[in-house]
Structures are given as structure tokens and as C-alpha cells.
């Protein structure tokens, strides 16, 4: 079906070290999202597995079998509810390789359709995790979507690449929680995502953990960069917003964006030749 409207349930809860407790929270949100007529449910970074380095120091003794069991339980529920799911977790690799920080894309048939692995890991991540190396794009209801994770937002080249691939909507999962209070992230993370949305004219679902203290809540951004809705800080919650490709938004870069991407770094319509322009040191 191609409707150009995609209903997105963006969720947040206090992700912890307990896989079972995280799974319970995820499974409680999914029927609520279905009742709200969402097409896809979006969870935060490492929502099921817990975040290594914060919730637990390393993967020594980690219960990978339990993680698999709870993932399969969530997949069964996705099939029952006929929901798409963006599920933050950790993907085990063959030892001694470090795991991936991943987003599983689970389809309404209850199967893993694809997996995005965080491409840019922080210095702390790199001690425990392996960076990914590919985009994951998919289309639902005529809306072309892609997946990114947290620190990826620092690299505008990723968004430019996705723009060139025709992506309409980014699902970006974060884990910025368990902090002592407000930080620089309070003032820059949502704002950076607003910039990414506006400069590439994309919708963004931004899901963060709400484990106390989280410096910013989950939010939903439209293609002009405006946050149209956000959840309450440090509280579990769900919101449903619609990506509607028929809507028009303020876009002063239209007509110039592709020009800049191609390498032409001004928007003069024709070659310019004026002696008063060439002389840079006189009035």
C-alpha cells in the first residue's frame, strides 16, 4: 500500500541492565501503539539489551541466550499485532570480535527484516563494540526510511548520503541517560537533529532512554526543523505522530541543496566578471 502517510509511535522508558525488565516495558508499549493506530514502533538505543559501559561494565558473563529469547518473544508480539518495530539492542559477533550496537528492523510478519549497526561509535564504545559499515533503508506506505544511532548525528555526511538516496524519514535511537543532571547534550542534541532535519528536508523520530537523569526527551521533528511534539523528560511515555509526504514545509534550500551537494558552493546563476569584484583590497 502506498499512502505517503506513516504513523510512528516513538517510545521512551528507563532502559536498565535487566533484559527481562526492558522486554516487559517494550511489550507493554506495543499494544498501546497498535491501539493508537501506529504503523511502526520506535525504541531507544540498546532498549532491550541495556547499554554496555553504563548499565554494566562489559560483556563478561552477559546472558546472550536470554537476550535471544526475549527478542524472539517481542518478534512474536510484533506478528500478533502486525506492527513494524525498530528495536534497539546489541548483536553478538563471533568472539573475539566485539558486538554491534544495533537496531533490529522487525516486520509485521514477526521476522527480522534487516539490522542497522551503529556506524560511528564513541571512544568509550570502541573499547567494547564494533562499528557498522552500511545503511539500512526501507519503505512503508510509500515513505522511504532509514536507521541511525546516537553519535551518528555528529556526522552530517551520513544525512547527505541518505538525502541523495531519497530518504524521507530517519529513525534515530539514542541512549543519553543515567547522568547527574543537565549537560551540554541538553542544549545541543535536539538542536543538532533539528539542523539535520531542516538541511536535508527530512522527518525525524528521535527516541531516547528516560533513565534518570536524561538530558533531553524523545521528540518528533518535521522537515523544516521544527519539533512538533516531545515526551516529558525523565518519564516513560509514547507518542504517535504522522509522517505525511503530502504536506509542504518551509524549505529555503529548495533549488540550491542539490547544487551545493554537487560541489558548487554559491548559487550564482551565471559566471560573474567585474573588475570591482576582482580587486579585493580597494574600496
Q: How do strand 203-207 and strand 219-221 relate by DSSP bridges?
A: antiparallel
37: left (phi over 0), alpha (psi -120 to 50) or beta: left
Measured between alpha carbons, how far is 280 from 283 in angstroms, rounded to an integer?
8
Asked whether residue 172 is assigned to any structural domain, the reply reads yes
Measured between alpha carbons, how far is 47 from 243 in angstroms, rounded to an integer?
23
CATH of the domain at 216: 3.60.110.10
Number of domains in the chain: 1
Asked whether residue 246 is assigned to any structural domain, the reply reads yes
Asked whether residue 282 is assigned to any structural domain, the reply reads no
Per-position pLDDT tens, the chain of length 283: 557 999 999 999 999 999 999 999 999 999 999 999 999 999 999 999 999 999 999 999 999 999 999 999 999 999 999 999 999 999 999 999 999 999 999 999 999 999 999 999 999 999 999 999 999 999 999 999 999 999 999 999 999 999 999 999 999 999 999 999 999 999 999 999 999 999 999 999 999 999 999 999 999 999 999 999 999 999 999 999 999 999 999 999 999 999 999 999 999 888 778 888 888 898 9
Asked whether residue 268 is assigned to any structural domain, the reply reads no
Measured between alpha carbons, how far is 118 from 131 in angstroms, rounded to an integer?
6
Q: What is the largest CA-CA distance in the chain?
A: 74
Q: How do strand 169-173 and strand 203-207 relate by DSSP bridges?
A: parallel
**pTM for this model (two decimals):** 0.96
Asked whether residue 266 is assigned to any structural domain, the reply reads no
Range of the domain at 134: 5-251
Q: What is the phi/psi pair of residue 34, to 5°?
A: -60, -45
Asked whether residue 90 is assigned to any structural domain, the reply reads yes
Asked whether residue 75 is assigned to any structural domain, the reply reads yes
Report, in angstroms and rounded to the nearest whole number, the Rg of the chain calculated over CA atoms. Answer: 20
The CA–CA distances, whole Å, from 97 to 48, 126, 127, 130 equal 21, 12, 11, 7
Asked whether residue 25 is assigned to any structural domain, the reply reads yes
Amino acid at each position: 500500500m502506498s499512502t505517503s502517510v506513516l504513523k510512528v509511535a516513538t517510545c521512551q522508558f528507563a532502559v536498565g541492565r535487566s533484559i527481562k525488565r526492558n522486554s516487559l516495558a517494550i511489550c507493554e508499549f506495543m499494544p498501546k501503539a497498535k491501539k493508537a493506530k501506529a504503523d511502526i514502533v520506535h525504541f531507544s538505543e540498546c532498549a532491550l539489551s541495556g547499554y554496555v559501559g553504563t548499565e554494566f561494565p562489559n560483556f563478561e558473563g552477559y546472558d546472550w541466550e536470554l537476550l535471544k529469547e526475549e527478542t524472539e518473544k517481542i518478534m512474536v508480539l510484533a506478528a500478533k499485532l502486525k506492527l513494524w518495530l525498530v528495536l534497539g539492542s546489541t548483536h553478538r559477533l563471533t568472539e573475539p570480535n566485539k558486538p554491534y550496537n544495533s537496531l533490529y528492523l522487525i516486520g509485521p510478519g514477526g521476522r527480522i527484516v534487516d539490522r542497522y549497526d551503529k556506524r560511528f561509535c564513541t571512544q568509550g564504545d570502541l573499547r567494547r563494540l564494533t562499528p557498522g559499515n552500511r545503511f539500512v533503508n526501507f519503505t512503508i506506505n510509500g515513505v522511504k526510511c532509514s536507521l541511525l544511532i546516537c553519535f551518528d548525528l555528529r556526522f552530517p555526511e551520513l544525512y547527505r548520503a541518505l538525502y541523495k538516496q531519497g530518504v524521507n524519514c530517519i529513525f534515530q535511537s539514542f541512549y543519553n541517560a543515567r547522568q547527574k543532571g543537565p549537560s551540554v547534550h541538553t542544549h545541543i542534541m535536539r538542536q543538532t537533529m533539528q539542523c539535520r532535519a531542516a538541511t536535508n528536508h527530512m522527518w525525524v523520530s528521535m527516541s531516547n532512554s528516560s533513565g534518570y537523569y536524561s538530558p533531553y526527551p524523545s521528540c518528533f521533528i518535521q522537515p523544516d526543523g521544527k519539533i512538533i511534539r516531545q515526551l516529558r523528560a525523565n518519564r516513560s511515555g509514547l507518542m504517535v505522530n504522522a509522517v505525511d509526504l503530502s504536506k509542504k514545509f518551509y524549505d529555503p534550500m529548495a533549488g540550491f541543496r542539490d547544487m551545493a551537494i554537487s560541489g558548487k558552493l554559491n548559487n550564482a546563476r551565471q559566471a560573474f566578471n567585474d573588475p570591482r569584484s576582482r580587486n579585493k583590497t580597494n574600496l
